Structure 1
Amino acid sequence: MDDKRVILKKFFDEIQSEKLINGTVLIAKDGEILYKGAFGEADLDSKRELKINSIFNLASVSKPITALGIMLLAQANKLSLDDPIEKWLSDIPYKGITVRQLLNHTSGLPDYLELFECHWNKSKIAVNQDLFELLIKYKPERLFKPNERMEYSNTGYVMLALIIEKVSGLSFAEYMKRNIFIPIGMQDTKVFCQRLTEQAMDNYAYGYVFDVYKGKHVLPDEFPETDFVVYLDGIVGDGAIHSTVEDLYLLDRALRDGTLIDETLLKEAYSPSSPRLESPFKYGLGWILENEKRKGRAVWHSGGWPGYATHFKRYIDNDIVIIFLRNKEQDFEFEQSIIKSIENILFDEPYETPKAPELQKAKILHPEILNRYVGEYQLEEHTELITRVTMKDQRLFIELPGSMKLEMYASSENEFFLRSLSVTINFANDGVNYYLTINDGSYSQTAKLI
């Protein structure tokens, strides 16, 4: 494996010399760490540098850890994965959903972001119970019947955290600490709500987003598109676990050694829970699943929260682990190409050092121009699907089918981009109709204003 160490060091030396990433990384094979390193700054104002033990918000990499919390309760016969959730959340207005369906994203629960956007006092920081009460009060429609299809659900994992509290009698943070973090030795890992508790944390890596108007990185609290991080800071289970690359590696070892979860439950976690359902990816109990002939089975999760991108991938047939934590917003495709290059090195395939594109600045357009584009657009290739363009507070948003609402930024009067994503939206008028074309660099689709 020495050759892998040499190649990885060369790869990251080049990345460090070009200052291409701001984050930490750990790569291991067969129980040996091949490379670990820290690049960039944990605090842009003080210029405090990142260290290998810098603590990051894991975002959705929290989900497999929340799932482990549930599986430990199942292992102790304190709940069953096939319990209806109303057994533990008696007032929930969505009956017939099981704990397992929360874990594998087949519950059909509506997403909570819009619920808070429409019905929440933004001067208050919400916690999980607040979401539960909003679901009871407003009863937004299910997306689909349980197990009818699979759709990624943050709401489901918040409900799992509430179930953990109900069954264990402990707060989610305390339960995870006692039952996972301390037993494994994850000393730098905790459920952490910085704005809610107003606590400081040593070695904390602050997350920064790119302000497309100022042309610099700022805290997400200071940027309109991402200021929801303040009022959603107390929501846990789908995110909010904070950790380091070294602690995540300890978690990987504990799962591989069988010291935490028994083999039967792990097999369930690593198997597609609803193999007959059509879905964009296979999902087990908290893990995204892959199975390639040459690379074998892999279980992984990624996460994104304003300022943070996280990646935790475990090749369980080859005992390879890749952990990547970032705290300064960059282009999504660029980050994916770095992870791809790491994988190629590990599996003796050709790789290259990617080049980071410059983050784009935005122009300010008059509201009258923005208002031209507001409306519902019917996709030409899939006429049953509708894309919505809305305007609020002189800001333009697009909502693609099956996706959350995203703000669009102007690069010209009729061309817009999505921040940190390699996606452009062009508007055109043929004299009769307005059209929009969405292009992600490899695929484009056109929709007509209806």
Structure 2
Amino acid sequence: MMLASYYSKQLEYVKNRYSATPQIPQSLYLLYSQEGDTFSSSEEQLSRKFSIASITKSITAMGILFLIDQKKLSLETPLDSVLPATWESKGFQSRKITILDLLRHRSGIPYRSSYMKMVKYKGGSLFIPEQIAVAGERYFYSNYNYYILKAIIEKVSGKTYSEYLKESLLDPLGMQDTQTRGSNGAGGIITSLRDLAKFGKLILHRGRLHGKPFISEQLIRKIWLTALNDGIDEEDEYGLGWHVQQENGVVTSLYHAGNWFGTFSLIHLFPQEKGMLLLWANPPNYQSKSLLEYRWKMVGLAKSYLHNLRIYTLNKTLPLNKFVGLYRAGDSHAQTKISLRQKKLVLESDISTFLKRLDLTSFIVEQKKKTTIHFVEKDGEIIGFMAGKEFYNKVF
């Protein structure tokens, strides 16, 4: 496919431009598509092991989701009902910290603080910062949330963190390169691009493994829905162990980066396009401008390839001529015509406008105030579309 050949060369060009330099001595990548080709650095490098630092949080979050799937926890479970102790700080006790708060970094516990306290519970203790906000009210990215989640996994499962993840996640997915021993729940896991791809596929496939349900699809969707439905309209939020990017209420990507001295890693999922980009590099400075440019150029290429591949696949699956016809509104009886011009669909009304394809049956009207049209398909044929609150039946 010419599309695959073009993007394969572009990815290699960007990688070679930024790698083998003082800023980025080495780098590896893997671009996976459920519907097309997969590109990567040399095959033998896919099993190279490296620390994924904070991507560990996404794996810890999955461990918690397994316990929820087994009905041993819920997102609303108060922390002190699992690890009995006084977790809330004085002045911030109006609401208890929940599992959801910890997963989303909304416990009120900051990343750093001069005011620390020792919390003792049956079977262990944790040295954590004092809260600086009531649980659920504000976002503070903090490793301490995931130190606590690790302790919860061990308490509820009755196993060590490493034993539980090995039995519930690593062995079933065949993640043989992955080492969790020594991880604190927020960082410290060692893995490879090959194994990280297996983990990413579990999310992209909505909890299915080898075509069969492995974990509830509803729970997998909550990874991003908890962020989209929290009443906060931000382009980049934090869901259940993942950063969530959205546009007009639709999730566009899930990602997590891992930064530590001498190592950088990234897992970036594109749920709509059913693909992902994985990166690893060993920069002396993980905050360098070169690394930031390299990361976002590779993400941009991955997104472009997956989007174009999706459109190519959709056009093969449901050709545009299927949408052509006369449509009549059920209530107002207003009529509109959709035609095909220059290999694009055109909405014929007072002003003819092109339609830009979003997915199999959704298009955006290309005008200043963009409107989305959702077509209804039955047995391979289009029977109508929804625009706003009105449904238009296809007449012919």
TM-score band by shorter chain is: 0.5 to 0.7
- Matched-pair contact (CA < 8 Å) for 1:150–1:277: no
Give the deviation of 1:153 after TM superposition: 1.7
Whether 1:28 and 2:32 are equivalent positions in the alignment is: yes
2: CA distance between counterparts of 1:154 and 1:14? 34
Alignment partner of 1:67 is 2:71: no
Where does residue 270 of structure 2 map in the other structure?
315
Bigger radius of gyration among the two: 2
Instruction: Provide the rounded CA distance (Å) in 1 between the counterparts of 2:173 and 2:202.
Output: 7
- Could you tell me how far 1:133 is from its partner in structure 2? 3.8
Partner of 1:12: 15
Q: How does 1:357-372 map to 2 (within 5 A)?
A: none
- Measure the CA separation in 2 of the matches of 1:65 and 1:152: 16
Q: Show structure 2 runs of 5+ residues with no match.
A: 209-213, 306-396
> What do the CA deviations read for 1:291-338 (whole angstroms, capped 9, x no partner)?
247x96100111212222221100110122111122332343221211
In the alignment, does 2:132 pair up with 1:143?
A: yes
Deviation at 1:143? 1.4
Provide the rounded CA distance (Å) in 2 between the counterparts of 1:181 and 1:115.
37
Other-structure match for 1:302? 257
Q: Which residue of 2 aligns with 1:55?
A: 49
User: Is contact 1:288–1:300 with CA below 8 Å preserved after alignment?
Assistant: yes
Retained in 1: the 8 A contact 2:110–2:141? no
SS of residue matched to 2:41 = strand
- Structure 1 letter corresponding to 2:272: D
Identify the match of residue 262 of structure 1 among 191, 205, 216.
Answer: 216
Match of 2:38, SS? strand
The C-alpha deviation readout for 1:225-276, integer Å capped at 9, x for no partner, is xxxxxxxxxx611111111111111111222222243211111111244633
- State the shift of 1:28 in Å: 1.8
Alpha-carbon separation, structure 2, partners of 1:38 and 1:143: 47
Gaps of 5+ in 1: 40-49, 120-128, 194-234, 350-450
The whole-number CA distance in structure 1 between the counterparts of 2:19 and 2:233 is 41
Q: Does residue 47 of structure 2 align to residue 91 of structure 1?
A: no
> Mapping of 1:149-188 within 5 angstroms?
149-188=138-177
Sort the Cα spacing of 1:280 and 1:153 in 2 relative to 1 into closer, same or farther, 3 A. Answer: farther
Alignment of 1:431-442 (within 5 A): none
Q: CA RMSD in A?
A: 2.9
Residue 337 (structure 1) aligns with:
293
Distance 2:289 2:20 in 1: 20
Q: CA deviation at 1:88?
A: 1.1
Taking the aligned partners of 1:53 and 1:284, their CA distance within structure 2 comes to 29
Aligned to 2:361: none
Say if 2:291 is the partner of 1:287: no
Question: What is the distance in 1 between the residues matched to 2:254 and 2:166?
Answer: 23
Specify the code of the residue in structure 2 equivalent to 1:55: K
TM-score, normalised via structure 2 length: 0.64
Letter in 2 for 1:262: S
Q: Name the CA distance, whole Å, in 2 between partners of 1:167 and 1:114.
A: 31
Contact 2:109–2:140 (8 Å) recurs in 1: no
Identical-residue share of aligned pairs (%)? 25
* TM-score for the superposition, normalised by structure 1: 0.57
Q: Give matches, 1:353-392, under 5 Å.
A: none
Structure 1 pair 333/192, CA: closer, same or farther in 2 (3 Å)?
farther
Give CA-to-partner distance per residue, 1:156-212, whole Å, 9 cap, x none: 11100000000000000111111111111110012133xxxxxxxxxxxxxxxxxxx
Instruction: Tell me what 2:302 maps to.
Output: 346
Q: Which residue of 2 aligns with 1:398?
A: none
Do the aligned residues in 2 keep the contact of 1:26 with 1:324 (CA within 8 Å)?
Answer: yes
Q: Which amino acid aligns with 2:104?
A: N
Alignment-mate amino acid for residue 53 of structure 1: S
Q: Secondary structure at the match of 1:343?
A: helix
Please show how residues 387-398 of structure 1 align to structure 2 within 5 Å. none
> Contact 2:31–2:302 at 8 Å: present in 1 too?
no
Change in CA separation of 1:58 and 1:160 when aligned onto 2, cut-off 3 Å = same
Counterpart residue type for residue 258 of structure 2: G
Task: Give the AA of the match of 2:62.
Answer: L
Residue aligning to 2:180: 191
Counterpart among 55, 80, 85 of residue 74 in structure 2: 80
Find the aligned partners of 1:113 and 1:308 in 2 and give their Cα distance.
26
Structure 1 residue 66, shift from structure 2 partner: 0.6
Deviation of 1:115 (Å): 7.0
CA distance in 1, matches of 2:281, 2:172: 27
Give the deviation of 1:287 after TM superposition: 0.9
Tell me if the contact between 2:53 and 2:259 (Cα under 8 Å) persists in the aligned partners: yes
Q: CA deviation at 1:343?
A: 2.7
1:296–1:318: 8 Å Cα contact kept in structure 2?
Answer: no
Q: What is the distance in 2 between the residues matched to 1:170 and 1:77?
A: 17
Once residues 301 and 35 of structure 1 are traced to their aligned partners in structure 2, the CA distance between those partners, rounded to angstroms, is 20
